[in-house]
Amino acid sequence: MSISEASNNHIVVFALHGCGPCQDLKDYIDQRDVKCEIIHVGEDISTEVFKRIYPEAEGFPHSTVNGIYVGNLMYYLESGL
């Protein structure tokens, strides 16, 4: 998927305030005008609910495209997968 095709997909980023990699991804999203939903864990959704929904999550940011975990969203968008 190219960055221009990203708007055809439902992209969700789960992030934490104060998280360096989360801020890097948010900056990347803003600079490239990627349409996505950013949900702050501990603010928009509780940590407990997040862990129940994504028990396999091992850090932040946690990104999904159409409900499927994609790992590093920047790499995913740049690679054209």
For 9-65, the pLDDT digits (tens) are: 899 999 999 999 999 999 999 999 999 999 999 999 999 999 999 999 989 999 999
- Higher-confidence position of 51 and 71: 51
CATH value at residue 22? 3.40.30.10
Residue-number span of the structural domain to which 12 is assigned: 3-79
Asked whether residue 5 carries a pLDDT value surpassing 60, the answer given is no
Asked whether residue 6 carries a pLDDT value surpassing 70, the answer given is no
Q: Are strands 62-65 and 11-15 parallel, antiparallel or unpaired?
A: antiparallel
Place of tokens 């990347």: 28
Considering its fold, how many domains does the chain have in total? 1
Count other Cβ atoms within 10 Å, centred on residue 62. 23
Q: Where are the beta strands (DSSP E) in 1-81?
A: 11-15, 37-40, 62-65, 68-69
